[in-house]
Amino acid sequence: MKENVRVSFFQDHEEKLWDDFVDRSPQGTFFHLIGWKKVIEKTFGYRSCYLAAYDDCGICGCLPLFQVKNIICGNALISVPFGVTGGICADNSVAVNSLLHRAQELAEELGADYIELRQASPCGVDLPEKDLYVTFERELESDADKNMAAIPRKQRRMIRQGMKHDLVSSVNGKESIPLFYEIYAHSVHNLGTPVFPYKYFQCLMEIFEEKVRIHTVWHQETPVAAVLTFFYKNRVMPHYSGALKSYFHFAVNDFMYWELMKYGCEHGFTIFDFGRSKRGTGSFDFKRHWGFEPLPLPYQYSLHKQKEIPNVSPTNSKFKPFIALWKKLPLPIANIVGPHLIRYVP
């Protein structure tokens, strides 16, 4: 193990070195890529504090951080905002501890209340953990019929119900953003959640290019559901989705995710990553119905000025009145105000 590890801030000219490290590291995720830094900076203006660990051979670890300061989060260093995962990605424990130590120093320098590390798996440091979130993933077979057979019978029936209604899907790039956004905004409003800025999805498409695609489900000539998906390494990662409530009886969501699974196996991807859910929610149950089992997401916290793990998720009872009120807002107003509010809950 190399002991001579040094940590410094990421420099723009090192973008390829950083991404090459993320690409080859088993812990490297889509959200560690420099593209995520560009999207978040360009859309939300958060200050980035990307730390890289180096040994004699080059980069041996990375920790993407953003400083988020507002009335809800306080003054926080988050890795990473709006990402399912993030946190420390490193080759060895020396790099892990060096990155954590420098992040803790930075938190003190910036007067931060806490550091949030959205680890996909434990990184070997002794920090408080939150067990609110889980993720769901499963291997994809190269044969679509085998993937269908692996889905529980009741869920297969829902997929076939969508097929019987003559639903079809299309796969597109940035030209589909307007249709996607309209459906997505409709869905999150029904959930009582502020919508992301339109610019955010434009940035995702422009910066990540072929790593982001939109699947749209159509009934005749009407778009009824859509999902924006990240494709990275061997993973298919549906990240933002929506469906028109008036078409739920057509099983549009079930059909949409099946079409995405089929697309993934046809294009050589081997993991379907159904993404993060909170325990005890509808999305948690929906993914279980597909035969996926929950896997823990060990989000870890280094507490500084704040003495207990923060809870800024919708499960916090303090937000229930706001969620109820938001659902009652007219959709056009919610679509104007929402993009200004979403930055407070990253």
pTM across the whole model? 0.95
Contact 179, 226 (CB under 8 A): yes
- The runs of H, that is alpha helices, within 197-345 are 198-208, 252-266, 282-289, 320-328, 331-341
The reported pLDDT for the residue numbered 135 is 96
pLDDT in tens, 14-63: 999 999 999 999 999 999 999 999 999 999 999 999 999 999 999 999 99
**How far is CA 116 from its chain centroid?**
15
Contact 64, 56 (CB under 8 A): no
pLDDT in tens, 209-240: 999 999 999 999 999 999 999 999 999 999 99
Strand ranges in the chain using DSSP code E only, listed in sequence order:
6-9, 47-48, 51-55, 58-63, 66-70, 74-79, 89-90, 114-118, 129-130, 133-139, 167-172, 212-219, 222-232, 235-243, 271-278, 294-296, 299-303
**80, two tokens:** 């990473």
